[in-house]
A and B are shown apart, each in its own frame.
Chain A
Amino acid sequence: MRKVLALLLSLLLLTGVFGLATADTEYKDIINIADNDQGASYDLHKDTSVNVRNMLRGTVFEQLVTLKASGDIGPELCESYDVNDTSTEFVFHLRKGVKFHNGKEMTSADVVASLNRWLESFSTARKMVGDARFTADDDYTVSLKLENSAIMLLDMLAGAAQAAVIYPSEAIDNVNADTGFIPTEWFIGTGPYMFSEWAVDQYVQLDRFDDYVPYGDPEQELDGLWGYKHAYTKTLKYWIVKDAATRFNGLMSGDYDFVVKLTDDYIPVLDGNPDYNVYSQQTGMISLVWNKHTTDKYLRLACQAIADADELNTVNYGTLYDTDPCYMENGQPAWYTNAGGEYFCQHDAEKARELLAQSSWEASNPIRILVSTGGHAEDMLLVFGQEIGELGLSVQLDIVDRSTLTEKRKDDTLYDAFFTTFSSVPVPSLRNFLDGSFAGFSDDEHLAELMTKMTTAGTREEAFAAWEEIQAYCYSDYQPILMMGHFHQAAACTAKLSGYNVFLTTNFWNAKLEK
Chain B
Amino acid sequence: MKKYILKRILTLLPTVFIVSVVVFLLVHLTPGDPAAMMLGDDATMEDIAALHAKLGLDDPLIVQYIRWVSRCLQGDFGTSTAVIGQKVSDMVFSHFRPTLCLAIYSQLITILLAIPTGILAARKRGRIADMITSVLSLLGISLPSFMMGLGLVLLVAVHFRALPAAGYKDLFTDGLLPFLRYMTLPALSLGFIHAAYMMRMTKTSMLEVLSSDYIKMARSKGVKEHTIIGKHAFRNAFLTVLTVIGQGFISALAGAAVVEKLFTIPGIGTLMVDSIEKRDYQVIQAITLLIAMLNVVINLIIDLLYGLCDPRIRLE
Contacts and interface: CB of A to CB of B under 8 A. Distances in A.
Contacts of A246: 153, 165-166, 261-264
A180 B51 contact: yes
Contacts of B285: none
Contact of B84 (A43, A241, A254): A43
A425 interface: yes
Interface in A353-407: 400-404, 406-407
Nearest to A122: B47
Contacts, number: 151
B213 interface: no
A403 B166 contact: no
Contact of A201 (B79, B85, B95): B95
A49 B167 contact: no
B85 A179 contact: yes
Given A50-B40, A181-B85, 14 more contacts: A38-B83, A40-B40, A48-B41, A124-B44, A180-B51, A180-B54, A200-B91, A253-B158, A254-B161, A401-B32, A403-B36, A406-B33, A407-B32, A410-B45
Given A180-B54, A423-B41, A240 B264 contact: yes
A108 B23 CA distance: 49
Nearest to B163: A253
Contacts of A49: 40-41
A46 B39 contact: yes
Interface in B42-90: 42-47, 51, 54-55, 79, 81-86
Nearest 9 A-B pairs (CB), nearest first?
Answer: A403-B32, A48-B40, A201-B266, A48-B42, A161-B42, A41-B84, A49-B40, A407-B31, A253-B165
B43 A241 contact: no
Given A181-B85, A201-B266, A403-B279, A249 B166 contact: yes
21 contacts: A40-B83, A47-B38, A50-B40, A123-B46, A176-B84, A180-B54, A181-B84, A199-B266, A200-B91, A201-B271, A242-B261, A246-B263, A249-B154, A253-B158, A253-B164, A255-B164, A403-B279, A423-B41, A423-B42, A425-B42, A432-B44
B24 interface: no
A123 B44 contact: yes
Contacts of B33: 403, 406-407
A437 interface: yes
Interface in A397-450: 400-404, 406-408, 410, 423, 425, 430, 432, 435, 437-439
A213 interface: no
B30 interface: yes
A170 interface: no
Contacts of B154: 249
B94 interface: yes
B45 A403 contact: no
Nearest to B82: A40
